[in-house]
């Protein structure tokens, strides 16, 4: 028996030894193969760059750019545990003390951490909702008391009131919670109605109402603002219209406890490693999940579909040759400087390095590498300025210390993307990363790290920690949602490698210097796609400003487009998402322009009815040609600028209205009612609104006075429409989508007044 056991042991040991020898041989073979491959690559690239054949280098399953998702179960960090303890203790103190214990989970007596049925972060969300809702009551009580006093004392509407609007509670709630909301967004909690209500409450109370007070009251050197009785009434009315809820908590004795809790939670959150949170969350929420269906698999096409065939043959040949040279040199430089060289190139790519597809793949690799370098810069910036967590920095310091890293990438990439799109290369991930890196980070920082009560004449500043952590969260989350890769540090972020990456982007851009995009809308610009200048600036035109306030619904909760821009878009930079948002903006603009068409058409209806359809031929011909303002101001302009895969086309009834107006002379001369053919294309609800707009302006007018007033209404309508077009053009120019001289050549009108007067003066008159 002993001998038998001994034989078994010997056999097992021999088998283990054989396996070990085989594995060692495999490892040595793989190592030798890799060394031989790298040697071959160097030798081939050095000997003959033009005819280079590079071995296929594919990214392994555990990508060097980051790590694959790990299972959701993991050990929580100490900071996460500390946060959960704080949540549990605060919940137990504030909620159970108010007999609000329906949803209280059991408390682990050993760790003091809240257990199921309510998850700790969901409990956190519940607490924050209560705190923000109490802020609503603070607003209403302040202004309701003033209104009551004014009524009792019969105060004049222009009398000033000293309103103690600035409180520490308001400052803490509005300054700290934005970063907490981002943390919840990238965490594992479901994005349910409570989450979006929390965002809505915070947007309304901390952005909308603060701006309303700042714009309507006068700041003082103390904690007070001066508001007239009339302005107080307007503010109170706005508060009620935004969030008129009966289910808000009426009062609380926990303000001091709430303030300490928010501060502590904020400190814990800033210490938590986001790579663990994102790794564990594995939940991606699409804010435009319904809208986005229109953009799935959309073919990107610019405004000029003939652009590809019209590229000069010699120019195309030069671009191809330059791509071959630049791509070859880039890969060579990466190896010479011992940079990361895990390239996702196929065998076909290796055979021809001059193709736009290879450029796209190398750029995607470059963007990922620069993202790591950027994070290193952010850490350096924090180390330099952030020894004290309360240290504040201004925009200039942020730009010079951090944001300049992406300057070359952001300046050069849009033209490259445009060329790749023209060559039918899939630029989805590439464009999405560009939108993430080159989004207006200062707008993002300003919304995440606000100084709630800063003097308008003083330069804004921000705490270093809030700036750096906000930027890292934004980039890391967007990189994950775009590539499904969680960014991790590695050893390849040297200055030499960074210079090689930046030089590559610059060289590709230089190779396209003669690519004639000036005749095409340069649509990939972030400022254009995101609608930045629609939301960050105010305009004299009230209809244009109204776009900011227009509503879309997320999970059934109404958000203004402005709230979407600041709150959600920075964390949703996928190309199809930004496309969706951009087209929502254009859709709202389109609706405004259509309103002017309806009004224009209705004035014609009123004129024809006033004349009993008896208009001479010469006057009818003038009416036929009166649509020029629409054709120049809308159709051609939109066709030129809407260079996206899905765009808003004019509704059929609008086209019918314009067509019927252009055929008025034919319609009348053949005995038909032109007024009816026009009016039947105006939807009933809009017809009612348009009638209510026009008829009060004509009350008491008869004969010539009626026609003169009708002409004035027509001119005013044209001026308003052309003003919208002018603002739109200025935004496009400011966003670098078009060049002003090109626009001027194609649309040669000078001013709105001259244009409208020249084409529409005295259209309505007696025969």
Question: In total, how many domains does the chain have?
Answer: 3
Q: Are both 317 and 169 inside the same structural domain?
A: no
Structure tokens at 470: 């906000």
Q: Are both 122 and 225 inside the same structural domain?
A: yes
Q: In whole angstroms, give the CA distance from residue 498 to residue 486.
A: 20
Q: Are both 228 and 345 inside the same structural domain?
A: no
Q: In whole angstroms, give the CA distance from residue 187 to residue 371.
A: 22
Mean pLDDT, consecutive 10-residue segments, the chain of 767 residues? 44 44 44 38 37 32 32 71 88 64 40 50 88 77 63 62 75 88 86 85 81 76 75 70 55 78 91 81 62 49 46 79 93 87 79 90 91 86 79 88 86 89 86 90 87 60 88 90 80 84 94 68 82 90 90 85 91 87 85 92 90 81 83 66 58 88 79 82 94 92 90 90 85 75 52 71 75
Residues 6+ apart with CB under 8 A from 30: none
Whether residue 717 is contained in a domain is answered as no
Question: Which residues pair with residue 454 across a beta bridge?
Answer: none
Classify burial at 62, counting beta carbons within 10 Å of its beta carbon; exposed 0-12, middle 13-18, buried 19 or more. Answer: exposed
Whether residue 407 is contained in a domain is answered as yes
Q: In whole angstroms, give the CA distance from residue 106 to residue 738.
A: 61
Q: Are both 439 and 380 inside the same structural domain?
A: yes
Q: Are both 90 and 31 inside the same structural domain?
A: no
Whether residue 178 is contained in a domain is answered as yes
Q: Are both 361 and 230 inside the same structural domain?
A: no
Whether residue 97 is contained in a domain is answered as yes
Question: Which residues pair with residue 228 across a beta bridge?
Answer: 160
Whether residue 362 is contained in a domain is answered as yes
Structure tokens at 723: 């003003």
Q: Are both 400 and 437 inside the same structural domain?
A: yes
Nearest alpha-carbon partner for 401 in 385, 414, 418: 385
C-beta of residue 486 within 8 angstroms of C-beta of residue 278: yes
Q: Are both 319 and 403 inside the same structural domain?
A: yes
Last residue of a domain, one of 520, 554, 571: 520
Q: What is the pLDDT of residues 435-459, one digit of tens each?
A: 999 988 888 998 888 776 555 555 6
C-beta of residue 641 within 8 angstroms of C-beta of residue 585: no
Is residue 725 classed as helix, strand or coil in its secondary structure? helix
Residues 6+ apart with CB under 8 A from 744: none
Whether residue 358 is contained in a domain is answered as yes
Whole-number pLDDT of residue 252? 58
Last residue of a domain, one of 520, 555, 574: 520
C-beta of residue 366 within 8 angstroms of C-beta of residue 483: no
Helix 575-610, helix 703-734: angle, nearest 10:
170
Nearest alpha-carbon partner for 606 in 595, 596, 598, 594: 598
Is residue 615 classed as helix, strand or coil in its secondary structure? coil
Q: Are both 323 and 458 inside the same structural domain?
A: yes
Q: Are both 37 and 183 inside the same structural domain?
A: no
Nearest alpha-carbon partner for 377 in 273, 274, 270, 494: 494
Question: Which residues pair with residue 655 across a beta bridge?
Answer: none
Whole-number pLDDT of residue 362? 94
Whether residue 417 is contained in a domain is answered as yes
Q: Are both 318 and 461 inside the same structural domain?
A: yes
Range of the domain at 340: 304-520
Nearest alpha-carbon partner for 133 in 238, 210, 243: 243
C-beta of residue 458 within 8 angstroms of C-beta of residue 497: no
Q: In whole angstroms, give the CA distance from residue 365 to residue 359.
A: 10
Q: DSSP class of residue 249?
A: -
Last residue of a domain, one of 520, 542, 562: 520
- Torsion sign, CA atoms 292, 298, 300, 302: negative
Whole-number pLDDT of residue 454? 56
Whole-number pLDDT of residue 329? 93
C-beta of residue 410 within 8 angstroms of C-beta of residue 437: yes
Q: Are both 140 and 10 inside the same structural domain?
A: no
In the numeric block, the tokens 């009818």 are attached to 620
Classify burial at 689, counting beta carbons within 10 Å of its beta carbon; exposed 0-12, middle 13-18, buried 19 or more. Answer: middle
Q: In whole angstroms, give the CA distance from residue 417 to residue 559.
A: 31
pTM of the model: 0.80
C-beta of residue 523 within 8 angstroms of C-beta of residue 417: no
Whole-number pLDDT of residue 647? 56
Whether residue 610 is contained in a domain is answered as no
């Amino acid at each position: 028996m002993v001998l038998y056991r001994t034989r078994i042991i010997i056999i097992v040991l021999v088998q283990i030894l054989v396996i070990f020898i085989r594995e060692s041989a495999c490892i040595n073979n793989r190592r030798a193969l890799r060394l031989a491959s790298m040697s071959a690559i160097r030798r081939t690239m050095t000997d003959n760059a033009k005819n280079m054949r590079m071995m296929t280098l594919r990214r392994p399953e555990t990508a060097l750019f980051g790590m694959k998702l790990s299972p959701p179960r993991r050990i929580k960090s100490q900071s996460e545990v500390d946060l959960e303890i704080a949540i549990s203790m605060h919940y137990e103190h504030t909620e159970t003390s108010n007999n609000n214990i329906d949803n209280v989970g059991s408390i682990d007596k050993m760790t003091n951490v809240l257990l199921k049925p309510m998850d700790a972060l969901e409990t956190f969300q519940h607490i924050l909702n209560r705190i923000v809702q109490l802020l609503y009551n603070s607003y209403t009580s302040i202004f309701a008391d003033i209104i009551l006093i004014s009524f009792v004392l019969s105060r004049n509407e222009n009398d000033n009131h000293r309103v103690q609007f600035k409180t520490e509670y308001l400052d803490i709630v509005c300054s700290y919670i934005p970063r907490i909301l981002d943390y919840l967004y990238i965490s594992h909690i479901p994005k349910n109605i409570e989450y979006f209500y929390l965002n809505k409450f915070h947007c309304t109370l901390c952005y909308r109402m603060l701006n309303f007070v700042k714009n309507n009251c006068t700041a003082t050197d103390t904690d007070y603002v001066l508001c007239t009785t009339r302005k107080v009434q307007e503010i109170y009315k706005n508060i009620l219209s935004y969030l008129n809820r009966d289910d808000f908590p009426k009062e609380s004795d926990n303000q001091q406890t709430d303030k300490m809790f928010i501060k502590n939670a904020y400190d814990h959150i800033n210490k938590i490693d986001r790579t663990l949170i994102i790794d564990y969350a594995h939940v991606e929420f699409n804010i435009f999940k319904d809208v986005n269906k229109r953009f799935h698999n959309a073919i990107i096409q610019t405004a000029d579909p003939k652009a590809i065939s019209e590229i000069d043959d010699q120019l195309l040949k030069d671009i191809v040759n330059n791509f071959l040279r630049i791509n070859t040199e880039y890969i060579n430089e990466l190896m010479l400087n011992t940079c990361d060289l895990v390239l996702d190139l196929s065998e076909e790519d290796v055979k021809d390095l001059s193709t736009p597809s290879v450029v796209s793949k190398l750029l995607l690799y470059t963007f990922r590498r620069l993202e790591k370098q950027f994070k290193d810069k952010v850490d350096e910036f924090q180390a330099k300025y952030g020894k004290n967590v309360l240290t504040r920095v201004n925009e200039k310091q942020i730009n010079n210390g951090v944001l300049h890293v992406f300057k070359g990438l952001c300046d050069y990439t849009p033209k490259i993307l445009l060329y790749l799109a023209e060559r039918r290369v899939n630029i989805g991930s590439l464009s999405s990363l560009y939108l993430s890196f080159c989004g207006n980070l200062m707008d993002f920082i300003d919304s995440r790290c606000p100084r709630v009560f800063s003097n308008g004449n003083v330069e804004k500043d921000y705490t270093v920690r809030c700036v750096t952590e906000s930027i890292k969260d934004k980039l890391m989350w967007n990189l994950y949602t775009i590539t499904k890769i969680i960014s991790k540090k590695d050893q390849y972020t040297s200055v030499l490698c960074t210079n090689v990456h930046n030089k590559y982007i610059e060289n590709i851009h230089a190779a396209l210097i003669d690519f004639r995009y000036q005749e095409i809308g340069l649509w990939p610009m972030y400022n254009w796609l995101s609608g930045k200048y629609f939301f960050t600036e105010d305009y004299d035109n009230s209809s244009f400003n109204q776009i900011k306030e227009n509503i879309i619904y997320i999970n059934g909760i109404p958000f203004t487009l402005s709230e979407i821009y600041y709150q959600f878009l920075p964390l949703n930079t996928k190309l199809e998402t930004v496309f969706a948002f951009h087209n929502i903006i254009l859709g709202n603009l389109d609706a405004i322009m259509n309103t002017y068409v309806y009004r224009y058409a209705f004035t014609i209806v009123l004129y024809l009815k006033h004349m009993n359809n008896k208009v001479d031929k010469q006057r009818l011909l003038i009416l036929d040609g009166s649509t020029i303002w629409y054709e120049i101001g809308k159709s051609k302009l939109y066709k030129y600028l809407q260079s996206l895969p899905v765009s808003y086309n004019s509704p059929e009834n609008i086209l019918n209205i314009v067509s019927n107006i252009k055929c008025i002379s034919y319609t009348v001369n053949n005995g038909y009612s032109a007024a009816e053919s026009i009016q039947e294309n105006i939807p009933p609800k809009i017809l009612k609104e348009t009638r209510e707009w026009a008829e009060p302006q004509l009350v008491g007018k008869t004969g010539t006075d009626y026609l003169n007033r009708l002409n004035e209404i027509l001119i005013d309508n044209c001026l308003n429409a052309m003003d919208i077009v002018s603002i739109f053009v200025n935004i496009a120019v400011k966003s670098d989508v078009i060049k002003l001289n090109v626009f001027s050549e194609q649309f040669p009108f000078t001013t709105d007044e001259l244009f409208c007067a020249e084409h529409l003066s005295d259209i309505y008159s007696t025969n």
